[in-house]
Amino acid sequence: MSLLSINQIDHIYFTPKQATKVLEDITINVEEGEFISFLGPSGCGKTTLLSIIAGLLQPSKGTVQLKGKTSKDSIAEIGYMLQQDYLFPWKTIEENVLIGLKISNKFTKENKSKTLNLLKDMGLPEVEKLYPPQLSGGMRQRVALVRTLATDPKLLLLDEPFSALDYQTKLKLEDLVFTTLKSFKKTALLVTHDIGEAIAMSDKIILLKANPGRVAKTFSVPKEIRELVPFKARQHQEYTSLFPHIWKELEQLEQ
């Protein structure tokens, strides 16, 4: 059984004047430990799909199952990291990263210690008593990742988590997130507009077309790239070959 099974998902947004179909017949199976990226033009429903997987939206049709359980029953096993860090500015960094443990009733001395040690592993020593406004954007995103990992979710959903950062910080954080998720053997889905990011971080890339959003094509990233951290992957010849191919496919989808 796949870790995540997305079966024939349709979704329609209704307004007083019209109904807009944003997703149609999305069927995807994700294996444990896979890192999959979604690419596609604006309006193809990438974020809507993540919201459905997270159990935040009920699809108009179809099912999502995580290890055989519905999204609604699996919310505690899914971590969601967004473009904005959504840290509470009035709470210390320690209080922010421990929130998930407390909400999910997983707060123990052992889990607290693991979470605070993870801050140090992320290159954030001695920040526990600081407040979010005292940290840079890249540091805050690292805190957000620690908060997401604290509850030990089976599946991580990443919705353009690096897009608001400067390019150098973005590249460093890509490497950090990649190595952290691999070391924890986590399964992750990434929504991005960055072809290079998708190639450098993923095992598989799914292209979605728009109006309505459908799976257009799936690319398997060569093993030679998958074994490298993203920064080094971007320098590999296989990366250079795959990039224009995906670019061309996306251009055709936008026409």
Which residue spans within the chain are E strands per DSSP? 4-14, 19-30, 35-39, 61-66, 69-70, 78-81, 155-159, 187-191, 204-209, 214-220
In a domain, 151, yes or no: yes
Query: In this structure, is residue 1 part of a structural domain?
Result: no
In three-state form (DSSP H/G/I as H, E/B as E, the rest C), the secondary structure along 96-139 is HHHHHHHHCCCCCHHHHHHHHHHHHHCCCCCCCCCCHHHCCHHH
What gap in Å lies between CA 131 and CA 88, rounded to an integer? Answer: 9
Written as tens digits, the pLDDT of the chain (255 aa) is 789 999 999 999 988 888 889 999 999 999 999 999 999 988 889 999 999 999 889 999 999 999 888 867 777 789 998 888 889 999 999 999 999 888 888 889 999 999 999 898 888 888 999 999 999 988 999 999 999 999 889 999 999 988 888 899 889 889 989 998 998 899 999 999 999 999 999 999 999 999 899 999 999 999 999 999 999 999 999 999 999 999 999 988 876
Specify the pTM.
0.92
The number of folded domains in the chain is 1
The reply to whether 20 falls in a domain is no
Give which of 182, 233, 212, 215 is closest to 35, Cα–Cα: 182
Kindly state whether residue 248 falls inside one of the protein's structural domains: yes
Q: Considering the domain boundaries, does residue 38 fall inside one?
A: yes
CATH of the domain at 55: 3.40.50.300
Domain with 51, as residue range(s), is: 34-60+75-254
Q: Is residue 187 part of a domain?
A: yes
Give residues with Cβ within 8 angstroms of 95, minimum separation 6. Answer: 88
Q: Which amino acid is at 64?
A: V
Query: Is 42 exposed, middle or buried, given 0-12, 13-18 or 19+ CB atoms closer than 10 A?
Result: exposed
Q: CB 90: neighbour CB atoms within 10 A?
A: 10
